[in-house]
Amino acid sequence: MTSTKPIDLSNMAATEPMAQAIARSRENSENGCEPFGAVIVKDSKIIATASNQVTQNNDPSAHAEIMAIRKACQVLDTTDLSGCELYTSCEPCPMCIGAIYWSSLDRIYYGCSKEDAAEVGFSDQFIYEELAKKRGDRRLPMHQKMRDEAFKVLKKRQQSKTDNKAKNE
């Protein structure tokens, strides 16, 4: 079920969004895909549901949480999901946690822990370990190139935002 219209939860049990996230994960698993589902709620209404689409889309970023965030942003026509809560069948991975912070979700509810996921072969512990290392010590080589040119673009964009804000005040 792909939700494009909000579903009112005001008369439903508080566990309904989590039950839907788990149902999405079960459905995905029964279709031979990864067993992860997510639901986003705002003002007691489900505004987005999603399941992991990594294998279907050949997209390693298409985790259930990311897909739900994308849908919620479209439904609300914003990248700021303040006031929204995420219900997910499993504790989010580092990539999803990053997207959750960037989208300003208020709260996360999850079913399985990352330890539960690791127990059945879905471990992302190596990513946590890699992120804790200094850049030069990571398994994936990272090399900074053309920093000055790239930084000019960042500075120019920030100045443009500052100028526009001042004009609108």
- Give the angle 96-75-5 at the CA atoms, nearest 5°: 115
Would you call 65 a catalytic residue per the annotation? Answer: yes
Q: Which residues pair with 85 in a beta bridge?
A: 41, 107
Residues 3 and 21 sit within 8 Å (Cβ to Cβ): no
Strand ranges of the sheet holding 45-51, from the earlier edge strand across to the other edge = 7-8, 45-51, 37-42, 84-90, 107-112
The one catalytic residue among 16, 27, 34, 65: 65
Mind telling me the catalytic residues? 65
